[in-house]
Structure 1
Amino acid sequence: MERFNIVFMGTPDFAVPPLKKLLENDAFKVSLVVTQPDKPAGRGRKLRPPPVKLVADRYGIPVVQPEKVRGNEELFEKLRKIAPDFIVVAAYGKILPEELLRIPKVAPVNIHASLLPKYRGASPIQSVLLNGEKKTGVTIMKITEKLDSGDIYIQEETSITIDDTAQTLHDRLSVMGGNLLVKALPLIASGKLKPVPQNDSEATYCFQIRKEDGKIDWRDTAENIFNKVRAFTPWPSAFTHFNGKKLIKITKALPVKGQGKPGVVVDIDKDGFYVGTGKDLLKVLRVKPEGRKEMNADDFVRGYRLKIGDKLGRKDD
């Protein structure tokens, strides 16, 4: 049985299921894992290895962690000696130069967490939720130097449910990507799966998310705030303030019909509390106060003595 020689490039949790799929399938031999350098994390700022490195170490796969890729002749020479059939990329975190992309015998292949050409860029999972999309998916594509614009080999879609957050969608798409990858690679190598150019006129792009993007503007619609809660759970979180200073992360909510002044609590029931927005109401179901564990909204109401007429957000919001 022919085994395909693979160099895998990836860094965060999203890349773990695809790497495991390759490692656990006899059709593939992962000869090298390329990942980002260890980064300081936590209160002690100790160096923490990327999730992909931990998996590679567990399976005894050699790992390299270059500070840079572009112009890295040492890395290029190592890859040439391995002579991989495929270089597989999953959320590596850097744009790859043409010199590297020419190395694999068959193709450099990427797993992207959207239905390209929609949502090219760094935050496709959060962006589909922010925009209230009803479906998304994963794309196996040929890599080019231009961001997420390479020819498409195969795609698979999934419906987005009202309960989905960035975390649940991330986990589902990661597994889907791994399954689709091991299905696609032999078909690509045999020529049975032909790459199809993207329609650039249909391309959309998503932005790099910043922590401050999570701040809730209560003048926005309840639907948009609900989408922000889903898109920014678990990070950077959709947040507001109570009594002008206490930071509150809203982790679960629903838009409901109704009227109220933006940011003002208009009703409270056993499940949560209702906040006025620019259009309709947001029913808050779960929150995480600063320095506290996540809790149901009714526990927050009792513990923080929230009452009808209280205003969320700062005075200048």
Structure 2
Amino acid sequence: MSKPLNIIFAGTPDFAAQHLQALIDSPHNVVAVYCPPDKPAGRGKKLTACATKELALKHDLIVEQPVNFKAEADQEQLASYKADVMVVVAYGLLLPEVILNTPRLGCINVHGSILPKWRGAAPIQRSLEAGDPQTGVTIMQMDKGLDTGDMIAKAYCDITPLDTSASLYQKLAELGPQALIDTLAQMATGDYPREPQNNELANYAAKLDKAEAELDWHQSADVLDRKIRAYNPWPVAQFTFNESTEKSHRIRIWQAQPKPSEQHDQVPGTILAADKHGILVATGEGALLLTSIQLPGKKALAVADVLNARADWFSPGQVITG
């Protein structure tokens, strides 16, 4: 690498903070850190800083928190740092073209998927939900489109049958920082690759919605298993148990095992068995063994423990909705 770069960093959650830490530990100079304004959190609705801001303050870095970049004063403030490049990781704010063009080398983004397949807000969850065998991170040159910029570097990892969005998130948080440092080393030389994306291969990874969490038992066991893992830890897959005609409960599913070869002639959603191994539910194709669930107002427990207290809720032959 030639001369270290002066970098503006923009990010919000822990995923971003792990990339900021890598920059702090590198030869490069972080001249300013951008993150959203503090937000109310907890029962007291106390204004709380994001993980990126907390890390920046710990290292005595300058922190800027504009609501957006529409104000000319905010644009001028960013320009005053005279950065070589702006690194954006899970910032959550679309950057106007004037900002994209301000740093000498523009703005680059660490995106949590192998572009161009999953663009948008939830690439980790959508990749898992779709059954992709592999994912990774892409370092791209940002443009005015949504994750449409030229690709500079990629790093890959496999998706295992046990991965949840939480475990994949951590895998990518370990992959991304090194890919970022390697990319910046190339950019510092002034000679780095830029591969245009094939728009025909792109899919939009829409932000998750709570309504998606309610499972449809008519889908196959494999599809339902992927949804459960994709929605862990949020919004958490769930089904409705009707205790009576007047009273129903939303029950969250934290862990399950697909049984695609399980043969049955029952209506999807029918409980086929309930024992120490789990609750076996008929699906549109095969069956799904629920092994860890959460009753309303309770913590998540192994099904064997739940059945000790609520076996009457999950007797074979009952139909649960979704």
Please tell me the residue identity of whatever aligns with 2:317.
Answer: G
Aligned positions, number: 312
Within 1, Cα distance between the matches of 2:46 and 2:310? 35
Matched, 1:10 2:18: no
Partner of 2:212: 213
How big is each residue's C-alpha offset from its partner over 1:43-90, in whole Å with a ceiling of 9 and x where there is no partner? 222222111111111111111111122x22222111211111110000
CA–CA separation in structure 2 for the residues paired with 1:273 and 1:10: 41
1:255 corresponds in structure 2 to 258
* Residue 271 of structure 1: how far off its partner (Å): 2.1
Distance in 1, matches of 2:78 and 2:294, equals 46
Q: CA deviation at 1:295?
A: 0.8
* Shift, 1:293, TM fit: 1.0
- Which residues of structure 2 form unaligned runs of 5+? none
CA contact (8 A) 2:214 2:237 kept: yes
Q: CA shift at 1:192, angstroms? A: 3.6
Where does residue 78 of structure 1 map in the other structure? Answer: 77
Q: Secondary structure, in 3 states, of the residue corresponding to 2:156?
A: strand
Secondary structure of 1:117's aligned partner: coil
Compute the RMSD of aligned alpha carbons.
1.3
- SS class of match (1:125): helix
Q: Does 1:41 align with 2:49?
A: no
Separation (CA, whole Å) in 1 of partners of 2:193 and 2:106: 12
Report the equivalent of 1:274: 280
| Residue aligned with 1:2, SS | coil
Q: Name the counterpart of 2:308.
A: 302
Verify the 8 A CA contact 1:262 1:277 in the aligned structure 2. Answer: yes
Of 273, 287, 298 in structure 1, the residue corresponding to residue 293 of structure 2 is 287
Match of 1:311? 319
Q: Which moved more, 1:207-216 or 1:115-124?
A: 207-216
1:264 alignment counterpart: 270
User: In structure 1, what is the equivalent of residue 54 of structure 2?
Assistant: 54
Q: Which residue number corresponds to residue 68 of structure 2? A: 68
Output aligned runs, 1:103-182, within 5 Å. 103-182=102-181
Q: Is the 8 A contact 1:188 1:194 kept in 2?
A: no
* Structure 1 residues 134-173: Cα deviation after superposition (integer angstroms, max 9, x where no partner): 1011000000010101000000111000110000001111
Tell me how far apart the structure 2 counterparts of residues 16 and 254 of structure 1 sit (CA, whole Å). Answer: 33
SS in 2 for 1:253: strand
Say whether the 8 Å CA contact 1:129–1:165 is kept in structure 2.
yes
Structure 1 CA distance for aligned equivalents of residues 93 and 207 of structure 2: 13
User: TM-score by structure 1 length?
Assistant: 0.95
